[in-house]
Amino acid sequence: MNLATDGRILWRLLRGQPRHGTPAERLTAFYGPQAAAYDAFRERLLHGRAELLLELAARLPGHARLVELGGGTGRNLAFLGARLADFERVEVVDLCPPLLEQARRRWRAWPNVVTVEADATRYRPSQPVDAVVLSYALTMIPDWFLAVDNALAMLAPGGLLGVVDFYVARRSPAPGRARHPALARHGWPAWFAHDGVHPSPDHLPYLEARSACVHLREGRAPLPYLPGLRVPYYVYIGRKPDPAAA
């Protein structure tokens, strides 16, 4: 923990994300000054990523093709460890050039890892892939449902969609799902919106409606420098329906 570095990042978070410019311009202005220290601070903030990547990898064949939408610095690939070498191709897609530069530096020795500057709602790889990951990205994409639909469209039949993110439960969640008090359901979206992050009660139900759930865990994670507060998050893996198997 570096208090000086954390202080600079916290100051950026308090200032919030710019309200003007294109999405790419806003992301660059907000994350550019944080890029080099981006991962160290968020290790204590973004929980469930290792679980998602390892659960996903355990369900994929050898020589799989994976796309991470909103992949930023490419840090999440490190959770795969030696398994990363088993992938035929991994694409880290993001709109923010300073974060992608960190990904290029991190994985430049790995020929199976490439970076792509593109919009998660529009980008399509050259051929269908076996898995798509969105790690703390849906809450930052205004047209998030288009990102989910695009992820499913680029998957081969039977492919896997993995998502980990903040969220809040619906007022009346499905049976067996986590319930959040009204203060959490209204407070967390207001808290995070300042930084362009929008926890939603609709993300998880939409994912479950568009894919067949094979793994789901709902949890609460601590926040750096805010003892006692725990923010809801989920880890979800869904399978794209295979018409041939129907």
Could you give the domains of the chain? 3-245 (3.40.50.150)
Q: Give per-residue pLDDT as tens, 105-141.
A: 999 999 999 999 999 999 999 999 999 999 999 999 9
64 and 87 in contact (C-beta within 8 Å)? yes
Q: What are phi and psi of 224, to 5 degrees?
A: -60, 135
DSSP helix/strand/coil, 199: coil
Q: How far apart are CA 91 and CA 100, in angstroms?
A: 11
70 and 91 in contact (C-beta within 8 Å)? no
Looking at the chain, the whole-number percentage of residues with pLDDT higher than 70 is 82
Q: Give per-residue pLDDT as tens, 189-238.
A: 998 887 789 999 999 999 999 999 999 999 999 987 678 889 999 999 99
206-209 contacts, C-beta under 8 A, 24 or more apart: 206/145, 206/148, 207/148, 207/161, 207/163, 207/236, 207/238, 208/236, 208/238
Instruction: Output the pLDDT for position 242.
Output: 81
Give pTM, 2 decimals: 0.86
